[in-house]
Structure 1
Amino acid sequence: MHDRAPRSRLATHSVDNQPLPPHDRNLFALDRPLRDTLAREAPAWVARRLAPLGAAVGSREFQALGEEANRHPPELRLFDRHGRRLDEVHYHPAYHQLMHLAFDHGWHTVAWEEEFQGGHQAHVAALYLLTQAEPGFCCPVTMTHAAVPALRREPSVYNTWYSRLQAWDYDPRAVPAWEKPAVTLGMAMTEKQGGSDVRANTTQAVRDDEGYRLTGHKWFCSAPMSDAFLTLAQTDEGLGCFLVPRFTPDGERNAIELQRLKDKCGNRANASAEIEYRGAWAEAIGAPDRGISTILEMVQQTRLDAATAPPGMMRQALLEAWLHVRERHAFGRRLAEQPLMRRVIADLALETEASLALAMRTALAFDTPLDPHERALARLLPALAKYWHNKRGPGFMAEAMECLGGIGYVEETPLARLYREAPVNSIWEGSGNVICLDVLRSLERNPECIDALRDELLTARGQSRDYDQAVSQLETLLTRPAEEIEANARWLTQRMAQCLQAALLLRHAPEAVAQTFCRSRLGQDVSPAYGVLPYGAPLDAILSRIVP
Structure 2
Amino acid sequence: MKLVSQETEAKGKNSYSFDEFLEKRDNLDWYRDEPFLQKAVKKFTGSQHSQVHEKLLSFSPTVSAKWNRLAERIARPEVRPYMLHFDAFNNRIDRIVRPQEVHQLENEIFGEGLFSRNMTPWESFVKRMLIHQLGEAGVTCPLTCTHGLVALLDQFPDEDYPELQDILNHTKEGLNGEFAIGAQFMTEIQGGSDLPANVLEAVPEGKCYRLYGNKFFCSAAHADYSVVTAKISGTDKVSTFIVPSWLPGDKEKEKRNGYEINRIKWKLGTAELPTGEIQYKGARAYPIGPKDKGIAVAVGIVLTLSRLEIGIACAGFMLRASREANLYSDFRSVFGKKVKDYPLAANKLKRIQHAAERTTAGAFKIYNLFLQLDKPLNPGIKSGHPIEVRKKLFNLRELVLLQKICATNEGAEILREAISVFAGNGVMEEFSSLPRIFRDVVVNEQWEGPRNLLLTQIYRDLGRVSDWYSPAEFVASVLEGADSETIKKFTDQLEDLLQRPVLGEVSEASMEAAAEWDLFCDSFFKTYQQIALKEIED
TM-score surpassing 0.5? Answer: yes
Partners of 1:146 and 1:449 in 2: CA distance: 31
Give CA-to-partner distance per residue, 1:328-347, whole Å, 9 cap, x none: 11121211122111101000
**Aligned with residue 70 of structure 1, among 71, 75, 79:** 75
AA aligned opposite 2:168: Y
Give the superposition deviation at 1:229: 0.7
- Please name the residue that 2:180 is paired with: 183
Equivalent residues in 2 for 1:218-257, closer than 5 Å: 218-235=215-232, 236-237=234-235, 238-248=237-247, 251=250, 253-257=256-260
**Aligned with residue 264 of structure 1, among 264, 267, 282:** 267
- Please name the residue that 2:483 is paired with: 461
- Please name the residue that 2:308 is paired with: 304
Give CA-to-partner distance per residue, 1:360-417, whole Å, 9 cap, x none: 1111111111482643332221111111001112221111111001111111111221
Do residues 275 (structure 1) and 246 (structure 2) align?
A: no
Equivalent residues in 2 for 1:313-352, closer than 5 Å: 313-352=317-356
Contact (CA 8 Å) 2:475, 2:491: kept in 1 or not?
A: no
1:14 to 1:364, Cα distance in 2 relative to 1, 3 A: same
Do residues 292 (structure 1) and 295 (structure 2) align?
A: yes
- Please name the residue that 1:155 is paired with: 158
**Aligned with residue 99 of structure 2, among 92, 101, 109:** 92
AA aligned opposite 2:438: Y
AA aligned opposite 2:96: V
Contact (CA 8 Å) 1:401, 1:416: kept in 2 or not?
A: yes
Partners of 1:131 and 1:180 in 2: CA distance: 23
- Please name the residue that 2:377 is paired with: none
Give the superposition deviation at 1:425: 1.1
Secondary structure (helix, strand or coil) at the match of 2:93 reads strand
AA aligned opposite 1:399: E
AA aligned opposite 1:240: S
**Aligned with residue 489 of structure 1, among 496, 517, 523:** 517
Partners of 1:294 and 1:201 in 2: CA distance: 15
Do residues 388 (structure 1) and 409 (structure 2) align?
A: no
Q: Which TM-score applies when normalising by structure 2?
A: 0.84
Give CA-to-partner distance per residue, 1:234-262, whole Å, 9 cap, x none: 11331111111112357453112101111
Contact (CA 8 Å) 1:477, 1:485: kept in 2 or not?
A: no
Contact (CA 8 Å) 2:239, 2:292: kept in 1 or not?
A: yes
Do residues 166 (structure 1) and 196 (structure 2) align?
A: no
Do residues 427 (structure 1) and 446 (structure 2) align?
A: yes
- Please name the residue that 1:519 is paired with: none
Contact (CA 8 Å) 2:259, 2:283: kept in 1 or not?
A: yes
Secondary structure (helix, strand or coil) at the match of 2:26 reads coil
AA aligned opposite 1:425: N
Give CA-to-partner distance per residue, 1:434-461, whole Å, 9 cap, x none: 1112222332344559545522413132
AA aligned opposite 1:53: F
Contact (CA 8 Å) 1:68, 1:94: kept in 2 or not?
A: yes
Partners of 1:438 and 1:150 in 2: CA distance: 22
Secondary structure (helix, strand or coil) at the match of 1:353 reads helix
Partners of 1:421 and 1:37 in 2: CA distance: 25
Equivalent residues in 2 for 1:370-519, closer than 5 Å: 370=374, 372=389, 374-412=392-430, 413-446=432-465, 448=469, 451=473, 453-461=475-483, 468-469=485-486, 471-480=487-496, 481-486=498-503, 487=514, 488-509=516-537
- Please name the residue that 2:143 is paired with: 141
Secondary structure (helix, strand or coil) at the match of 2:230 reads strand
C-alpha RMSD of matched pairs (Å)? 2.3
Contact (CA 8 Å) 1:362, 1:377: kept in 2 or not?
A: no
AA aligned opposite 1:244: V
Contact (CA 8 Å) 2:113, 2:179: kept in 1 or not?
A: no
Partners of 1:241 and 1:16 in 2: CA distance: 56
Contact (CA 8 Å) 2:361, 2:536: kept in 1 or not?
A: no
Secondary structure (helix, strand or coil) at the match of 2:312 reads helix
Give the superposition deviation at 1:135: 2.2
Give the superposition deviation at 1:474: 1.5
AA aligned opposite 1:444: G
Contact (CA 8 Å) 1:105, 1:168: kept in 2 or not?
A: no
- Please name the residue that 1:527 is paired with: none
- Please name the residue that 1:106 is paired with: 113
Give CA-to-partner distance per residue, 1:61-99, whole Å, 9 cap, x none: 322211111112112111111110112212112212221
Partners of 1:308 and 1:82 in 2: CA distance: 46
Give CA-to-partner distance per residue, 1:453-481, whole Å, 9 cap, x none: 5224131326xxxxx44x33321122124
- Please name the residue that 2:380 is paired with: none
Partners of 2:84 and 2:26 in 1: CA distance: 37
Partners of 1:214 and 1:250 in 2: CA distance: 20
Give the superposition deviation at 1:263: 0.6
Partners of 1:83 and 1:409 in 2: CA distance: 43
Give the superposition deviation at 1:316: 1.4
- Please name the residue that 1:518 is paired with: none
Partners of 2:174 and 2:260 in 1: CA distance: 29
Give the superposition deviation at 1:52: 2.3
Partners of 1:374 and 1:104 in 2: CA distance: 34
AA aligned opposite 2:130: L
User: How high is the sequence identity, in percent, across the aligned residues?
Assistant: 25
Secondary structure (helix, strand or coil) at the match of 1:82 reads coil
